């Protein structure tokens, strides 16, 4: 076990997989000597050369398409986007090509492609560079969606993504890159997709969160504990496939559900979880599920306004008390 930052866990996992399999390579803007905007590919070109750590032009549509072509041809590309907001530039490539090619060819084609990059709030990057867009990719069959919240989860999920024969959208959070945690040294450390993690056990209310909001949910749970409320915090880790069974099991125990995410509240992935829980566990609910998400406005540049638009720890505490009728 080693202590690593979230960013270093990602870098080291890519390096280990590149040593393991010569078909794995990285491509993206400034991934070579600059090491990517947050250092996740730092110095990898020194070991693997510029054929396997490839700089690209500023053309997401172009290099995402090239990644899909390389995957179809037998390579295992990792395509880094500076900001996952820029997936919108390559939506046709992602939704109509990557997601559907294996189906179109009757399962005979493999698309071992990872699209990874960072998103989210915390740096005042404003409206077009601070969005949380993972929900968009839940809607289209054929794409897997991973959202690690810790260094260990980043390592285990990324290794699984790289070895998967299907396209994986791998969402990192810019505010997590400097966070440190224990990461297994085992080069075969894998976290299976579709397996949620109960980050904290509890009996009174279930709180489901991902990425940055896992730590915020845990902070809220600490505060709730002081008032005698025992919250269970669950990190889905992957949204596709989604481990709804772990969430339903928890709600059957607690009778109450709060879902919090940084994505916009309207039609966010929390709505899907609330719907599935209501359908499967309605008799067990003692209160209507509560969803927290970003307000329906473009994210502001000003950090104070950014905080006003996004859920805070106090909001999670308030929601948990509300479903317990303690508001």
Active site residue ranges? 60, 129
Angle of helix 151-163 versus helix 6-20 axis, rounded to 10: 30
Nearest to 1 by CA among 181, 158, 160: 181
What sign does the dihedral 173-278-136-183 (CA atoms) show?
positive
Say how far apart CA 67 and CA 71 lie, in whole Å. Answer: 6
Q: What is the spatial distance between Cα 278 and Cα 221, in angstroms, rounded to a whole number?
A: 23
3 state SS of 288: coil
Treating both helix axes as pointing N-terminal to C-terminal, what angle do 269-281 and 244-254 enclose, rounded to 10 degrees?
A: 60
Q: Are the beta carbons of 97 and 61 closer than 8 angstroms? A: no
Q: Which helix (H) or strand (E) holds 57?
A: none
Lookup: tokens for 268: 């966010």
Residue 26 has phi, psi (to 5 degrees) of -115, 140
∠ CA 138-158-175 to the nearest 5 degrees? Answer: 80
- Sheet with 76-83, strands from edge to edge, namely 53-55, 24-28, 76-83, 114-119, 168-173, 144-146, 238-240
The C-alpha atoms of residue 19 and residue 50 are separated, in whole angstroms, by 15
């Amino acid at each position: 076990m080693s202590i690593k930052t979230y960013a270093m866990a990602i870098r080291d996992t890519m390096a280990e997989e590149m040593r393991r399999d010569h078909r794995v390579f990285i491509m993206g803007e400034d991934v070579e000597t600059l090491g990517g905007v947050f250092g996740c590919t730092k110095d990898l070109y020194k070991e693997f050369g510029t054929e396997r750590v490839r700089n690209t032009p500023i053309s997401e549509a172009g290099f995402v398409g090239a990644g899909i072509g390389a995957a179809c041809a037998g390579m295992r590309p990792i395509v880094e986007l500076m900001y996952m907001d820029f997936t919108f530039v390559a939506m046709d490539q992602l939704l109509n090509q990557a997601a559907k090619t294996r189906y179109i060819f009757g399962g005979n084609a493999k698309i071992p492609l990872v699209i990874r990059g960072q998103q989210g709030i915390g740096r005042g990057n404003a409206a077009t560079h601070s969005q949380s867009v993972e929900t968009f990719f839940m809607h289209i069959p054929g794409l897997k969606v991973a959202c690690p919240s810790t260094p260990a989860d980043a390592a285990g999920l990324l290794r699984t993504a790289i070895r998967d024969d299907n396209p994986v959208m791998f969402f990192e959070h810019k505010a997590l890159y400097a966070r440190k945690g224990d990461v297994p040294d085992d080069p075969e450390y894998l976290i299976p997709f579709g397996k949620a993690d109960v980050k904290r056990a509890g009996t009174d209310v279930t709180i489901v969160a991902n990425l940055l909001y896992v730590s915020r949910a845990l902070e809220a749970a600490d505060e709730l504990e002081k008032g005698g409320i025992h919250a269970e915090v669950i990190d889905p880790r992957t949204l596709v496939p989604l481990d709804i069974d772990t969430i339903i099991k928890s709600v059957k125990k607690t009778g109450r559900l709060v879902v919090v995410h940084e994505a916009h509240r309207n039609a966010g992935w929390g709505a899907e979880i609330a719907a599935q829980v209501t359908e499967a566990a309605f008799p067990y609910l003692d209160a209507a599920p509560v969803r927290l998400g970003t307000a329906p406005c473009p994210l502001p540049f000003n950090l104070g306004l950014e905080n006003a638009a996004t859920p805070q720890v106090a909001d999670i505490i308030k929601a948990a008390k509300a479903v317990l009728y303690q508001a």
